[in-house]
């Protein structure tokens, strides 16, 4: 039921971070993976590494805020690996600043990428799945900050809350086509980008508030992701799967 061998999966935001990890993991499970992002040099390097490890990968340049570029990129990906079986809506940005100091440009950048971008990618994916009569899976990468809030990340938290509600709305409308739409909501994970923060006093204090008293490891997202895109999750749609070490159930 967890088999994805030969399935075509597109991953947005795949030049680094969660997206690159997802692409490597899925290729290792036998999927044909299209890596999509704006940074073509990083994409080409990542694809070369996956293919050198006996995976099957291809890349397309993609700006998730531009519907026309999404359509073009999806067409290129289908020409290479055929119709999509799953799409991982992972592209995202943040702006860390107190709400009173956030400017309009930062707001637009975060909300356009994290929410509008998820909407446009999901819409294009669904249209193509319906056209090819594929009963596919769309996984939107949300965050526990879409369910609770933290300081200085208002646009990010608001956009991720929107992703969660968007996931439920699309799941309702597209179930009739056999398309499942779910959200994966990670907590705090150790990455190269946050090492410095979690070594600080504030970072260590945050980790202490996680019931498991540690950060997540990227490989701990593999099982939940595979569940959502494989037949093992065939009766799941509109679900929000949190992977956070119990952070959401910690006391207020």
Distance CA 13, CA 111 (A): 15
Long-range residue pairs from 67-70, CB within 8 A, at least 24 positions apart, any chain: 67/120, 67/124, 70/120, 70/121, 70/124
- Asked if residues 236 and 182 have their Cβ atoms less than 8 Å apart, the reply is yes
Contact assessment for residue 228 and residue 139, using Cβ atoms and an 8 Å cutoff? yes
Q: How many CB atoms lie within 10 A of CB 43?
A: 25
**For residue 188, how many other CB atoms are within 10 A of its CB?**
22
Annotated catalytic residue, options 18, 25, 84, 156 = 156
Please classify residue 100 by burial: count the beta carbons closer than 10 Å to its beta carbon, then call 0-12 exposed, 13-18 middle and 19+ buried: exposed
**Structural element, H or E, at residue 67:** helix 67-81
Q: Mark whether 177 is an active-site residue.
A: no
Rounded CA separation 25/139 (Å): 15
* Count of C-beta atoms within a 10 Å radius of residue 163: 25
Tokens of 182: 């779910």
Active-site residue set: 156
């Amino acid at each position: 039921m967890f088999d994805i061998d030969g399935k075509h999966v597109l991953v947005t935001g795949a030049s680094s971070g969660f997206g690159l990890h997802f692409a490597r993991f899925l290729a290792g499970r036998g999927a044909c993976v299209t890596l999509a992002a704006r940074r073509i040099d990083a994409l080409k390097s990542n694809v070369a590494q996956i293919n050198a490890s006996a995976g099957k990968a291809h890349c397309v340049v993609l700006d998730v805020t531009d519907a026309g570029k999404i359509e073009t990129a999806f067409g290129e990906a289908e020409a290479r690996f055929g119709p999509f079986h799953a799409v991982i809506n992972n592209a995202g940005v943040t702006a860390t600043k107190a709400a009173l100091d956030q400017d309009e440009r930062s707001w637009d950048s975060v909300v356009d990428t994290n929410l509008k971008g998820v909407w446009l990618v999901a819409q294009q994916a669904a249209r193509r799945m319906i056209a090819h009569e594929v009963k596919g899976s769309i996984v939107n990468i949300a965050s526990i900050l879409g369910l609770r809030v933290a300081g200085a990340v208002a646009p990010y938290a608001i956009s991720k809350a929107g992703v969660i509600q968007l996931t439920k709305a699309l799941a309702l409308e597209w179930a009739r086509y056999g398309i499942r739409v779910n959200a994966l909501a990670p907590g705090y994970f150790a990455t190269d980008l946050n090492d410095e923060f979690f070594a600080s006093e504030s970072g260590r204090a945050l980790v202490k508030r996680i019931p498991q008293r540690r950060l997540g490891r990227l490989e701990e997202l593999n099982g939940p992701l595979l569940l959502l895109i494989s037949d093992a999750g065939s009766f799941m749609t509109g679900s929000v799967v949190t992977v956070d070490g119990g952070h959401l159930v910690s006391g207020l």
